Amino acid sequence: MTSRSTKKSDNDFIFLKIIGEARILTSKILTGSFSTVYLCRDVETAKEYAIKACDKKLILREKKQEYIKREKDALLKLNNTIGVIQLLSTFQSDKYLFFVLTYAKNSELHHYLKLKIFNLECVKYYSAQLLIAIEGIHRKNIIHRDLKPQNLLLDSSMKLIVGDFGSSKILSDQTDSKEEQLNINNNNKNQEERNISAIGESKRRIDRRASFVGTALYVSPEVLKGSKSHFSTDLFAYGCIVYEMCAHGRPVFGSSGENEYVVFQKIQNMDYKFPENFDSEVKDLVQKLLKIDPEERLGAKDPKESIYKSIRDHEFFSTINFDTIYSQTSPLIFLNNFAEMLQQNNVVQPNVILEPGLGEKQLKRILQSELNLTSSNLTPEALEKLFKEQTKIQWSEFLDENEYLIKYGFIYKRKGLIPRKRMLLLSLALSTNTPRLSYIDANANIKKGEIPLDSTTVCEPKNFKTFFIHTPNRIYFLESHEGDALKWCEAIEKIRDKYCK
């Protein structure tokens, strides 16, 4: 893999910190990360980029070559497409394949959906930008196939960028795109039987990606039945995302921690409800997108020369100017850098010389910096700003004065046979450097208790969802909604090691 202009190498960049990763599930066991995304700085220009480093050995061992090639080919074809992450160059070392990508400074959209300030104006703004991005992707005869809030990134101006094209499909230019888009009735019987069997396997908690492409909460009914993916498959996911934006992060077909077999059944039966006070125009748009028959989804029959005009013309977008939406100021611009501020880690330790490249020495420096929380190093002015912005998070009311929220997310807390949905908060009282791990009943909006956090606390991840917290008197059985059990364990143990000696 070579650069599209002058040839680059990892020695042309300083690797600053880890900002993301992708893992492989094999035989029900979560393997190591096959690709890690780093924030990097160009040695010559000092510009910042996101660089995905893909482990060659693991890619070959797990036979993921097609995943990597698919993403590269799609991104090359989508060069200069508005609303899509840009692949700037590719190169390789003995150990890694590297993708140099535009850096989405303000993290993922899903981090913001639960904020109280994500109102109808925000829903319209980001729904319009996402539609423009989807239009551009489909005009290039590409189907994304894994649209979800976690793959929608926000740049330094809080504009939306679609990322992660590893599951995408590029349609042949010679293919009759209309036939490819709408030919969903000629299913291969054997393929359908395999998918039905795979759904049964999912009920037995086997790898969710074994039977289909995409994420369970956003996969379309026809894909579950074994049909080919087509443009309307992305429109179904688009309807799910618009619903979730308006419902403050609540997925339309349940929660990400719910049994996937149940989620599949809900999708196939179109079993969903709207919360009280759900905007009527959004409701109508969602209902027209979430159709079992892909041909009946709003926009599915639009001609390519005026693709998705029927969606643009929906009354929900009556106040939106699609021609200028990407030049308009984001309604969330005041939260610029908010994600970085709440998850701030030292990029480097003091007096550490930054050497370019991604060798053992650089990896050691990055991992060491990941272990150093910088709340104690923040200036009084930065702390004041942090706490002011933190009040915009719904769960901040459960924090004490000068308590810093390090990580939060929905989990299932199991006690006996009944799992309880809880919001888990990992926080630190800056005045006393005392960590706390508390859990909230989100429906009743009350604090239910705390998990003891001291030097004896031990975290044990079982897979990408499930983890245990061992305390002297009890073992807590938890399931992460976001599938980030490893990140929970890492965050808890970092706090324990630093503040519970």
Residue type, 345: N
What pLDDT, on a 0 to 100 scale, did the predictor assign at position 110?
Answer: 86
Residue 164 bears catalytic tag: no
Pick from 150, 215, 168: nearest CA to 74: 168
Which residue ranges make up each domain of the chain?
10-101, 109-323, 376-499
Catalytic residue among 12, 146, 207, 234: 146
What pLDDT, on a 0 to 100 scale, did the predictor assign at position 237?
Answer: 97
What pLDDT, on a 0 to 100 scale, did the predictor assign at position 402?
Answer: 77
Kindly report the CA angle at 116 between 110 and 119, in degrees rounded to 5? 80
What pLDDT, on a 0 to 100 scale, did the predictor assign at position 151?
Answer: 93
What pLDDT, on a 0 to 100 scale, did the predictor assign at position 44?
Answer: 93
Which residues face 154 on adjacent strands? 160
Question: What burial letters (b/e) apply to 313-328, b meaning 16+ CB within 10 Å?
Answer: ebebbeebeeeebeee
In angstroms, the CA 76 to CA 74 distance is 5
Which helix (H) or strand (E) is 460 found in, with range?
Answer: strand 458-461
How many Cβ atoms sit within 10 Å of the Cβ of residue 39?
Answer: 20
Region for 337 from its dihedrals, namely left if φ exceeds 0, alpha if ψ lies in -120 to 50, beta otherwise: left
Is pTM beyond 0.85? Reply is: no
Query: Which tokens go with 126?
Result: 């980001």
What pLDDT, on a 0 to 100 scale, did the predictor assign at position 220?
Answer: 93
What pLDDT, on a 0 to 100 scale, did the predictor assign at position 474?
Answer: 92
Non-local (6+) Cβ contacts of 20 within 8 A are 36, 37, 50
Q: DSSP for 182-208?
A: H--S---HHHHHHHHHHHHHHHTT--G
Sign of CA dihedral 483, 489, 490, 495: positive
Region for 80 from its dihedrals, namely left if φ exceeds 0, alpha if ψ lies in -120 to 50, beta otherwise: left
pLDDT in tens, the chain (501 residues): 444 446 789 999 999 988 876 654 333 333 345 788 899 999 999 999 999 999 898 888 878 888 889 899 999 999 999 999 999 999 999 999 999 999 998 888 988 887 767 899 999 999 999 999 999 999 999 999 999 999 999 999 999 999 999 889 999 754 444 444 444 344 444 444 444 444 444 443 333 333 455 678 899 999 888 888 889 999 999 999 999 999 988 999 986 556 778 889 999 999 999 999 999 999 999 999 999 999 999 999 999 889 999 999 999 999 999 999 999 999 988 777 665 554 544 444 445 678 899 887 887 777 656 545 444 455 555 566 666 667 777 888 898 877 888 888 889 998 777 788 999 999 888 778 889 999 999 888 899 999 999 999 999 888 778 899 999 999 999 998 777 788 898 889 888 888 887
- Residue in the structure block whose two tokens are 């423009």: 132
In angstroms, the CA 304 to CA 155 distance is 29
CATH 3.30.200.20 matches 10-101: yes
What is the CATH number assigned to the segment(s) 109-323? 1.10.510.10
Class of domain 376-499: mainly beta
| β-strand pairing of 87-92 with 169-170 | unpaired
In angstroms, the CA 384 to CA 389 distance is 9
